[in-house]
Amino acid sequence: MADGRLRCYACGHCCPLPEGAIGVCKVRFNEGGRLRVPWGYVGAVQCDPIEKKPFFHAHPGALAYSFGMLGCDLHCAYCQNWVTSQALRDPAAVAPPHRTSPERMVADALRLGAKVLVSTYNEPLITSEWAVAVFKEAKAAGLTTGFVSNGNGTPQVLEYLRPWVDLYKVDLKSFDDRHYRQLGGRLDPIVDTIRRLHAMGIWVEIVTLLIPGFNDSREELTRLTSFLASVSPSIPWHVTAFHGDYKMTDPQDTSAEMLLGAAEIGRNAGLQHVYAGNLPGQVGNLEDTRCAACGETVISRFGYHIRAYRLTNTGCCQACGAAVPGRWGRQFDGQITARPFAPRRLSLELTLLN
């Protein structure tokens, strides 16, 4: 900047950083006039079913090799990944970083049979350079890549990610700017990110954790889902059940009835693929994917488990031939994960950072 500060564009805060300053994320900093970013480690790594991310319209049944660094640009009181996301803010969050390399991670993902590499657990936008380094290796090996993110992006970081990210899950936490400010962010950059991701042709799915008394009013959910439908009615929306976590333990847990009510609002807003998550077997057919043209169930699920798969090898409904939006393989390879999912031991020979 004209006054010598550096502007970081990795997330929607767009921090102006004077010499020696650390960003809101507590991750990126100005050292000697250079923007410094984390590199060469993971705070967590795990193989998960892709349905857990959740992506329901991308390679069903695939194993997603998931990795994360530390830190986040928001500070949600109910964070379910707080051990990694809040590690730099909260002394109670302890996740020792382990040194590794993109080559080692991709080799490990291939050995375990993963089809997808996903940057998750912390906010991946603030560690985008590392994710891109890993994704370059992953793409060279024929793997699909994804972000699981709060969506607090900027046009600059999205252009940077565009060639390397295939799938993008945005956690749309509310549709009220006051609520976002409680979490340490703003609504506008998230809305803008969702629009841009869709326009870029990156496959987008949206999750809203339904928290009683926080974001579950009919009025707010109507605005949220109407916005999504205005971007595209075919964007999948997952409305998922809250349970007390981290510093938010007061609200009651979300019931199946609450999820069903929210899902109805989403469908009435015009969304074609609405899912209710975190309460397997309690939400009727809201775990299944149905053809928007004829209503046929094309993928039947119980939680993360695929019970039936009825798409053609071009991703069309077997009953009526209509295309079902998503990123489908030429064939369903079965579910790689066990039922219930049991993580296999990771071989990654991680070195604990000092």
For ligand SF4, the nearest residue by Cβ is: 23
What would the DSSP string read from start to end of 145-194?
EEEEE-----HHHHHHHTTT--EEEEE---S-HHHHHHTTS-HHHHHHHH
Q: What is the spatial distance between Cα 14 and Cα 139, in angstroms, rounded to a whole number?
A: 29
Q: What is the spatial distance between Cα 64 and Cα 112, in angstroms, rounded to a whole number?
A: 10
167 binding ligand SF4? (CB under 6 A): no
Six-digit token pair at 241? 């059940």
The stretch among 13-21, 99-107, 141-149, 199-207 that binds ligand SF4 (CB under 6 A) is 13-21
The stretch among 8-16, 186-194, 299-307, 334-342 that binds ligand SF4 (CB under 6 A) is 8-16
Closest approach of ligand SF4 to the CB of residue 27, in Å: 6
28 binding ligand SF4? (CB under 6 A): yes
The one among 47, 69, 93, 126 contacting ligand SF4 by CB under 6 A: 126
Residue 251's SS3 state is coil
194 binding ligand SF4? (CB under 6 A): no
The stretch among 6-14, 101-109, 159-167, 196-204 that binds ligand SF4 (CB under 6 A) is 6-14
C-beta of residue 129 within 8 angstroms of C-beta of residue 35: no
88 binding ligand SF4? (CB under 6 A): no
153 binding ligand SF4? (CB under 6 A): no
- The CA-CA-CA angle for residues 348, 328, 55, to 5°, reads 60
The one among 45, 47, 67, 73 contacting ligand SF4 by CB under 6 A: 73
Q: For 83, which DSSP code?
A: H
Closest approach of ligand SF4 to the CB of residue 92, in Å: 21
> Which is closer to ligand SF4, CB of 126 or CB of 299?
126
Give just the sign of the alpha carbon dihedral 211, 217, 218, 220. Answer: negative
Element (H, E) at 228: helix 218-231
69 binding ligand SF4? (CB under 6 A): no
Which amino acid is residue 310, in one-letter code?
Answer: R
C-beta of residue 125 within 8 angstroms of C-beta of residue 149: yes
Q: What is the spatial distance between Cα 185 and Cα 62, in angstroms, rounded to a whole number?
A: 33
Using CB under 6 A as the binding criterion, the count of chain residues that bind ligand SF4 stands at 13
The one among 24, 131, 235, 279 contacting ligand SF4 by CB under 6 A: 24
137 binding ligand SF4? (CB under 6 A): no
Residues that bind ligand SF4 (CB under 6 A): 8, 10-11, 13-15, 23-25, 27-28, 73, 126
